[in-house]
Amino acid sequence: MALIYGLAVLLIGWPGIITAIVLVSIGIYTRKIWLIVLGAIFAIPISWYLGGTPRFRYIMYGLPIFFIGSAFAVKYGKERLAWILTLPYIGIMGWLGFTVLTQ
């Protein structure tokens, strides 16, 4: 049971959020699409968890799709668009972190 709890904390907590952002950033910088897709996979648990709350009900379920769009942008050589597509996730998670720290 402790293993499942530890896995949930890693995937849904701040380690999962930071891992997703770091993987996507490294993937865009090195132009490795598989790292961006892996970052999108790491973004799914926290997105679905927050999608169950009234404030984030509709936007959070589709947020990892922006990372997939970023992977397509890298595939077609549009690095600037790839960075822009990461901003919604980084912005929402940054706002969430700010809100948690200022409570």
Taking only the tens place, the pLDDT of each residue in 37-85 is: 999 999 998 888 888 888 777 888 888 999 999 999 999 999 999 999 9
Considering its fold, how many domains does the chain have in total? 1
What's residue 1's pLDDT? 66
* Positive/negative CA dihedral, 6, 86, 41, 77: negative
Q: Assess if residue 86 is contained within a domain.
A: yes
Look up the domain containing 53 and give its range. 28-98
Q: 11 CB contacts (<8 Å, ≥6 apart)? A: 42, 45, 46
**Backbone φ/ψ region at 95: left (φ over 0), alpha (ψ -120 to 50), beta:** alpha
Residue 60 located in a structural domain: yes
Task: Report pLDDT digits (tens) over 2-43.
Answer: 677 767 666 778 888 999 999 999 999 999 999 999 999 999
Residue 32 lies in a domain: yes
